[in-house]
Chain A
Amino acid sequence: MTAALDAGKGALLVFCVAVLQVSVLTTLELGAGAPDLLLVTLVAVALVRGPLYGAGAGFFAGLVVDVATLQTLGVTSLLLTLVGYWIGRYGETTARERRHAPLLSVLVATPAFALGAFALHFMLGDGVSARVVLLEALVPTLALNLLLTRPVYAACRRLLRPVELADRAREVRLLG
């Protein structure tokens, strides 16, 4: 029952953020970039709830984005599924309880998502400028995402019940 409630809350959160992202935030250009609240929220959700939840949330968020923007179905889903899973794994292994984990995750996930999207769209034959995507837009987007990270992570921790450390995988734990 609690798990279903958690899943419902997570789905609602991701849905609202995805709608906000496609309707409002993409038009908020600061520099050449725009804040990617959806990616930051997904990172926070994956860190709080783990890889399975992160992958599911990423898939759902990507689907909402692809449907709302009438873009090729599955492209954003694929990227966000991988980001959610990857960050979730990082959260339950190396990053356990580390204070810098959300910032580090966003710092890595933002360029990784940009690179992945660039490669995928290039393969699909979409017109895309590497200079705009990887140089002009990436730095301001990264800065804005990092600014959003702390409050979004704190909100996600309050809203979603963090998975207990004991419930998580134990195979990798680096000390230091």
Chain B
Amino acid sequence: MAVLGSPVQRAAPQKFPSRNGTVLKRRVVVGVLVLLSLLMTTLYFRDPPNGGMHAVQDAGATVLRPFQVAAERVVRPFRDAYGYFSGLVHAKSEAERLLAENERLRQEATQYRSAWEENKTLREYVDYRAPKGYPADLRSVAAAVITAPFSQYEQQLVISAGSGAGVRVGDPVATPAGLVGRVTEVSEGTAQVTLLTDRSTAVSAEVLEAGAVGLVKSGRSGGDTLVVDLVKKKFVVDRGDRIITAGSRVGELPSIYPRGIPIGEVTFVNQSDTDVHKRIQIEPYVDFDEVDSVIVLVPKERRP
């Protein structure tokens, strides 16, 4: 029995050509795959939106689309059933909240109807030329969401309408609840929608009750929280105030979002002596995790 420190001669190491070959093959294959991934990332990163890599990706997405739609359709009944039963848990409290909200909205609707009639008459008196707005000058292209954001890093959806339906890059996307984001990539049958929660998105917005204009963008804490930046301190903004798209023009460039699309409701307002602007946090009307269909707002004069 060999013990530590004994002078027993260690056997000469044997060579295993087949095993060495396997190890080499394994390393080469993994190295090639990693290099290929890095190469794709680099090329894609430098590729313009209408470049070759994007075209290949669009073609691939078109091929994958039927499979995604099929998977979504197969699972939908189960998801609906889950949603139905989970909804029952909070049904009573939700019904009470909605009844109270309904009462408040009914009162507001009466007031708004009266104000709208008055506004219409006054516009006729002064021959007022209204800017293009939502929803009168836009037509809706309804589309299903075929890919939700894959992870927290991605703030994009893929929808089932593309250039074939008249959708173009920059078109605003909404649901009946409010603004979702804008189209950032288009192929023939699909389009990528970048959500409001993406860092690259900023929307000129107005606090409806205060008349203050600012810029809605993603909050620093991530998640679905949005902030309204650049609102001057002189305006009085309260919790519960509504935020809509301002549709304002910045220099020569018109806003891609027409005026009047609801965005969210103010949840937090603060200001300090050192800040130039108010700090406003808002809760978007749209639950970005639950979006399964959207409306792309396409100018009426543009046809597929």
A interface residues, how many (CB within 8 angstroms): 50
B interface residues, how many (CB within 8 angstroms): 58
State whether B41 touches A78 (Cβ < 8 A).
yes
Total number of residue pairs linking A and B with CB closer than 8 Å: 153
| A67 interface hit (Cβ, 8 Å) | yes
Known pairs A24-B71, A52-B29, A70-B192; A59 contacts B45 (CB<8 A): no
Smallest CB-CB separation from B67: which chain A residue? A19
Chain A nearest CB, measured from B85 CB (Å): 14
Residues of B within 8 A of A70 (CB): 57-58, 61, 147, 156, 158, 185, 190, 192
State whether A78 touches B64 (Cβ < 8 A).
no
Q: How far is the CA of A118 from the CA of B222 in the complex (A)?
A: 13
Q: How far is the CA of A55 from the CA of B150 in the complex (A)?
A: 21
Known pairs A26-B148, A126-B153; A51 contacts B26 (CB<8 A): yes
| B229 interface hit (Cβ, 8 Å) | no
State whether B41 touches A74 (Cβ < 8 A).
yes
User: Contact string, B256-292, partner A, CB cutoff 8 A, digits 1/0?
Assistant: 0000000000000000000000000000000001101
One of B30-38, B101-109, B234-242, B295-303 contacting the partner = B30-38
Residues of B within 8 A of A56 (CB): 29, 33
State whether B19 touches A169 (Cβ < 8 A).
yes
Q: Give which listed residue, A64, A78, A127, A128, contacts B37 with CB less than 8 A.
A: A78
30 contacts between A and B (CB under 8 A): A21-B150, A23-B68, A23-B146, A23-B147, A24-B79, A26-B148, A27-B289, A27-B290, A51-B26, A58-B33, A64-B64, A68-B61, A68-B68, A68-B147, A69-B149, A70-B147, A72-B41, A73-B43, A74-B36, A74-B38, A74-B41, A78-B34, A81-B34, A117-B153, A121-B153, A126-B154, A127-B200, A127-B218, A128-B222, A170-B19
Q: Which residues of B contact A (CB under 8 A)?
A: 19, 22-23, 25-26, 29-30, 33-34, 36-45, 53, 57-58, 60-61, 64, 67-69, 71-72, 75, 79, 146-156, 158, 185, 190, 192, 198-200, 218, 220-223, 289-290, 292
Q: Which residues of A contact B (CB under 8 A)?
A: 19-24, 26-29, 51-52, 55-56, 58-59, 62, 64-78, 81-82, 85, 117-118, 121, 124, 126-129, 131-133, 136-137, 169-170
Q: Beyond A19-B64, A74-B41, A121-B153, list 13 extra A-B contacts (CB 8 Å).
A: A22-B150, A23-B69, A23-B72, A51-B26, A55-B29, A58-B33, A59-B36, A70-B58, A72-B45, A78-B34, A127-B218, A132-B152, A133-B153
